[in-house]
Amino acid sequence: MIVETSKGKLPVRYGWNALAKFGDLTELTMDEILELDMKKMKMSDLLKFVYVGFVEGARKEGVECVFKSPEDVGDLIDDEPDIITKVMEAFNDMSAVGGEGSKKK
């Protein structure tokens, strides 16, 4: 999925690689990740979640990710708070754990 931002149109991807990276960054288990309630996440973990989506989107598209850290994502969200909603829509639409993106076409 492509998310329009002030940094351009950026790919976002939530497949198994993104979820694995998120687990590594947060030390959450697969069960914990699958049962996440975004409203109960620590804000720093939410930034990591958004960050890995952009990193994996860029990797899958073969482009360089414009974000070098979760803090870079936080700076964007400060200016564009609707990015969280856009990224969560991407996660719901294409996550490896049950979204449309996980279904074979």
- Please tell me the total count of domains within the chain: 1
Distant-in-sequence, close-in-space partners of 48: CB < 8 Å, separation ≥ 6: 22, 25, 26, 70
Give pTM, 2 decimals: 0.84
Give a yes or no: residue 22 inside a domain: yes
Residue 79 structural domain: 10-97
Give the pLDDT score at 67: 96
pLDDT digits (tens, 9 = 90+) for 10-52: 999 988 899 999 999 999 998 888 888 878 889 999 999 999 9
* Structure token pair of residue 41: 């996440």
* Structure token pair of residue 25: 């960054």
Give the pLDDT score at 70: 96
Give a yes or no: residue 45 inside a domain: yes
Give a yes or no: residue 43 inside a domain: yes
Give a yes or no: residue 103 inside a domain: no
18 vs 49: CA distance, rounded Å: 8
Give the pLDDT score at 96: 52
Identify which of 25, 80, 79 has the alpha carbon closest to the alpha carbon of residue 53.
25
Other Cβ atoms less than 10 A from the Cβ of 17: the count is 15
